[in-house]
Structure 1
Amino acid sequence: MQRIVVIGAGAMGCLFAAKLALAGHRVTVADVDQARMDAIAAQGIALSLDDGDFAARVGACPIAAVDGPVDLLILFTKGMHSAAAIASAAHLVDTGCTVLTLQNGLGNTDAIAAVFPRERIVWGVTDFPADLHGANAVSSHGQGHVWLAGLIPAADARARHVADILDGAGLNARFAPEVEAMVWDKVAFNSALNALCTLGQVPVGRLDSAPIRRIVSTIMDEIAAIARAEGIAFDHARTMAKVDFALANHTGHKPSMLQDRLAGRRTEVESINGAVLAVAARHGLAAPTLELVTDLVRLGEPA
């Protein structure tokens, strides 16, 4: 049994916390939303999957109230909150815990490395869909996976151990040395699909049409050029295959960017789309379709 702390009790944080708790680990979630913390502490997390409904007993408290020992710390906040969230967990550095991020966007590992040693940081991506319902209920329908590796080679042994823990909880996790390219795949995927779902206020399945696919493919071409300028082995066909998988298997899923828009919250557009455009600007590259879609999402952001 591992002592696992999940920072961020949104849809993905609740999904992973519940799956890990059901696998027998001691799990605590930490969030700044006190009402959510109260609900989880009192009732646990209600998890709805394709194979049934489950109730996971999970601890909940402010991160400042968490003390050692901690084996694994998972950061699952939105990208714009990463720096503040990981700084609030600085008191856990001395526990020797591994820190994992599967967050969307770019820059999350930099925020973690400002607090925790790089040789203890594991990063990766997941394509699990998750939708939050109320304070403490989450659903995930359709297959998903996790791919991860150490941020530096010295962290790879920890990454393999984390992959075993997640895989044992039914999270289909694998060690993937090529994870940096996969992070860019996910950023490209989210820059297109999450933004378009948000603009149309529709779930993923509604994007499955020839006109929208043309927009998605154009955005992928633009991001491919940006990634390659960064030295990333970006594969357009591989990313489009992930788009096809999502359109076929996650038809009813509302991406987190859309969920935030519907709830009147700020979205992650700056840590996903905006971060890619910042890299493009650094290399003097134009990405007109990505920039247009991003600006339209920005138009709907709360003041």
Structure 2
Amino acid sequence: MLSTPGRDPVAVVGPGAVGLALAARLAGQGHPVTLCGRPGTAPVSAVTSSDEHGMRTVDVEWRSEPARVHLFRWVVVATKLHQGDAARAWLERLVDSDTLVVVAQNGIEHRELVAPHVPRHQVVPALVHFNAERHDRDRVEIRQDGPGLVIGDDGPGRRARPLLDRTGLGVRIVTDFTTAAWRKLMVNAVANPLTALTCRRVEVFADPSVRNLAVTMLAEVAAVGRAEGARLPAEAVEDVLAWIDARPAGAGSSMLADRLAGRRLEYDGLLGAVVRRARTHALAAPVCTAVLALVAALDTAPSTRAAAHDTFKNQEQQ
């Protein structure tokens, strides 16, 4: 039986924007936090976070070698979806039968990411609804509107809630996590690829041709989600477009940011997951499949990244 979190040490795997945000909030509440990052990268010994209440710096411990960590009762996995191998290398050292693992990622395959190192009853899939933007390696800006984390109303979720409540980001616990995950995936599987491919922010969805493309993709995603058991109403496509339209001017996406920074793109766990599940249910998803192929080709062509950066800068100057 897991104890209440108290001020137990917490390991955070993945020092990206989400990982830094969660590490900063937990360390700020007195939890000793160990950040687990890639070998050879510059260490992070303190994290500075800013939000509407101001700025705060907290100390953390840094580890870049799995062999140098010990077992933890609480682990947060906040790596990108395509960094699953790196996450699993850490989990081999961090997790035992008493560990609860919060997987704070995009997509719908949270439990698959950490298998076989973590049994299902020790995994808490968490949908991230707060916005975190990393500045340098040790600074993160946090913005949110409403609950920042969504978890399922099951045994692992209820055990993890006291720890997640301490982040101050707001936790919503839902009985139908499948529907919540597919609602978020509808946004991520369409907005991320289309902004990355066009090198434009959310204003691109005002373009009639792009909007029509988005409508078709969203309808395909919704059909797959329903086949997976998600309760998505007929107006789900319009709801997602309305949400995108309401984003602040200049809002982008994580995939666009990764493309402009020359990083690998997180497409396989988003649009790739949709296409895989469509095939499982013998559903046609031709437009999502075509866009997935384009994004995958983009990700394997590093020479296009500098051109993407130049294109984006030119657009900003016009």
TM-score range, shorter-chain basis? 0.7 to 0.9
Q: Let me know the Cα RMSD of the aligned residues.
A: 2.4
The CA distance in 2 between the partners of 1:53 and 1:16, in whole Å, is: 15
CA 1:133 to 1:240, structure 2 compared with 1: closer, same or farther past 3 Å? Answer: farther
Instruction: Give the alignment partner of residue 160 of structure 1, picking from 138, 146, 158.
Output: 158
CA 1:103 to 1:250, structure 2 compared with 1: closer, same or farther past 3 Å? Answer: farther
CA contact (8 A) 2:10 2:73 kept: yes
CA contact (8 A) 1:79 1:108 kept: no
What's the CA shift for 1:19? Answer: 1.5
Secondary structure of the structure 1 residue equivalent to 2:118: coil
Instruction: Give the alignment partner of residue 197 of structure 1, picking from 187, 195, 198.
Output: 195
Is 2:306 the partner of 1:300? no
The CA distance in 1 between the partners of 2:160 and 2:238, in whole Å, is: 28
Give the match for residue 149 of structure 1.
Answer: 152
CA contact (8 A) 2:186 2:240 kept: no
CA 1:59 to 1:240, structure 2 compared with 1: closer, same or farther past 3 Å? Answer: farther
Give the counterpart letter for 1:198 in structure 2.
A
The CA distance in 2 between the partners of 1:264 and 1:73, in whole Å, is: 29
Give the counterpart letter for 1:25 in structure 2.
H
- Cα deviation, 1:266-285, whole Å, max 9, x if unaligned, reads 21111211121111122222
The CA distance in 1 between the partners of 2:195 and 2:247, in whole Å, is: 16
CA contact (8 A) 2:76 2:103 kept: yes
What's the CA shift for 1:244? Answer: 3.6
Secondary structure of the structure 2 residue equivalent to 1:2: coil
Secondary structure of the structure 2 residue equivalent to 1:139: strand
TM-score, normalising length: structure 2: 0.82
Give the match for residue 11 of structure 1.
Answer: 17
What's the CA shift for 1:202? Answer: 3.1
Instruction: Give the alignment partner of residue 262 of structure 1, picking from 260, 274, 280.
Output: 260
Give the match for residue 270 of structure 2.
Answer: 272
CA contact (8 A) 1:203 1:254 kept: yes
The CA distance in 2 between the partners of 1:112 and 1:83, in whole Å, is: 9
Secondary structure of the structure 2 residue equivalent to 1:35: coil
What's the CA shift for 1:171? Answer: 1.3
CA contact (8 A) 1:82 1:108 kept: no
Instruction: Give the alignment partner of residue 46 of structure 1, picking from 38, 43, 48.
Output: 48
| Matched residue count | 292
* Runs (5+) with no aligned partner, structure 2: 1-6, 302-318
**Following superposition of structure 1 onto structure 2, how do residues 78-89 of structure 1 map, counting pairs within 5 Å?**
78-89=80-91
Give the match for residue 285 of structure 1.
Answer: 283
Give the counterpart letter for 1:49 in structure 2.
D
The CA distance in 2 between the partners of 1:108 and 1:173, in whole Å, is: 18
Give the match for residue 138 of structure 1.
Answer: 140
TM-score, normalising length: structure 1: 0.86
- Cα deviation, 1:230-268, whole Å, max 9, x if unaligned, reads 233234545754654454355544422122211222211
What's the CA shift for 1:115? Answer: 0.7
- Cα deviation, 1:118-175, whole Å, max 9, x if unaligned, reads 211111211111222221111123425211127xxxxx33312322322232111122
The CA distance in 2 between the partners of 1:126 and 1:243, in whole Å, is: 19
Structure exhibiting the larger radius of gyration computed from Cα positions: 2
Give the match for residue 153 of structure 1.
Answer: none
CA 1:188 to 1:160, structure 2 compared with 1: closer, same or farther past 3 Å? Answer: same
The CA distance in 1 between the partners of 2:110 and 2:143, in whole Å, is: 27
The CA distance in 2 between the partners of 1:80 and 1:140, in whole Å, is: 23
Give the match for residue 209 of structure 1.
Answer: 206
Give the counterpart letter for 2:91 in structure 1.
A
Give the match for residue 304 of structure 2.
Answer: none
CA contact (8 A) 1:83 1:112 kept: no
What's the CA shift for 1:61? Answer: 0.7
CA contact (8 A) 1:257 1:267 kept: yes
Give the counterpart letter for 2:220 in structure 1.
E
The CA distance in 2 between the partners of 1:60 and 1:236, in whole Å, is: 47
- Cα deviation, 1:44-63, whole Å, max 9, x if unaligned, reads 11212133222122211123
The CA distance in 2 between the partners of 1:50 and 1:241, in whole Å, is: 28
**Richer in helix (by share):** 1
The CA distance in 2 between the partners of 1:129 and 1:242, in whole Å, is: 17
Give the match for residue 30 of structure 1.
Answer: 36
CA contact (8 A) 1:104 1:272 kept: yes
Give the counterpart letter for 2:151 in structure 1.
L
CA 1:252 to 1:58, structure 2 compared with 1: closer, same or farther past 3 Å? Answer: farther
Give the match for residue 310 of structure 2.
Answer: none
